Amino acid sequence: MADAAAAPPQYVLIIACADRPGIVHAVASFLLERGGNIVDSQQFGDRLENRFFMRVHFELPAASATDHPVDALREEFAPVAIDLAMAWKLIAVDAPFRTLLLVSRFGHCLNDLLFRWSTGALNIEVPAIVSNHRDFEPLARSYGIDFHHVPVTAKTKGAAEARLLELVDELDVHLVVLARYMQVLSDDCCRALVGRAINIHHSFLPGFKGARPYHQAHARGVKQIGATAHYVTADLDEGPIIEQDVTRVSHDLGPDQLVRAGRDVECQVLARAVGWHSESRVLLNGSRTVVFR
């Protein structure tokens, strides 16, 4: 127990700024002055856009934890960030992302995320689940999570989105995950959640739009199926991509078997995207992302 109590506090610093000499030196000097030790560091220079991205996982001596709590570290780093015109974030490694899960009537992604969360595989807290149906209220209750039924119709869509954004504020939510939430968010709602809402869809888009995409794919005799996790934007299913994956399928699989295979890929892709986001490994780069795996 004594060793655990003396464990050095760990933090993650992520930065994005115009590429120029001295950025790495400035960050390293800041950490050195405070006795910091770099556990892991990744960086990427986008030469096309002249942008620089960096993620640094570091620790401080245990004795300095009271002298350098995370709020104090932010204040101390602010002048460095201002000097180099950085967009940045500094958080404690073990600070979980408060994550609001949205679902409609397909529960495979929701069930998968809840299981991973309950086993400690995801660095998230789940204060609530929101759905436009009541199908998964018992599942939410089984995990001890508040369930909010927010019906959506053409007439109530505006009020439903307003309630969703109220919950984001009330619950101090850092991340919203559309775990097969089958409602199109308005432009205003997307703007309110920019960079902190993740959606999952089958990678047949835009080839197989609308209802029953796996049945459409079966009719076309596809040989692989997949899924894409991306940030939500006003452009439907065209937000910055975080993760994608595919699996090969055979001619002897029926439509229902394709659905099952597709759902497996969707679960895996969404879980990786949520995991990377909650570990501050995903940085927006215009219409693309930088993912430090």
Annotated catalytic residues are 237
DSSP H helix total and E strand total for the chain: 9, 13
DSSP output for 176-223? EEESS---PPPHHHHHHTTTSEEEEEETTTTTS-SS-HHHHHHHHT-S
The span from the CA of 77 to the CA of 100, in Å, is 30
CB-facing half-sphere around the CA of 141: CA atoms within 13 A: 6
The span from the CA of 159 to the CA of 161, in Å, is 5
- Could you tell me the sign of the dihedral formed by the alpha carbons of 182, 186, 192, 196, in that order? positive
The span from the CA of 32 to the CA of 12, in Å, is 15
The span from the CA of 133 to the CA of 135, in Å, is 6
The span from the CA of 45 to the CA of 49, in Å, is 9
- Identify the DSSP state of 7: P
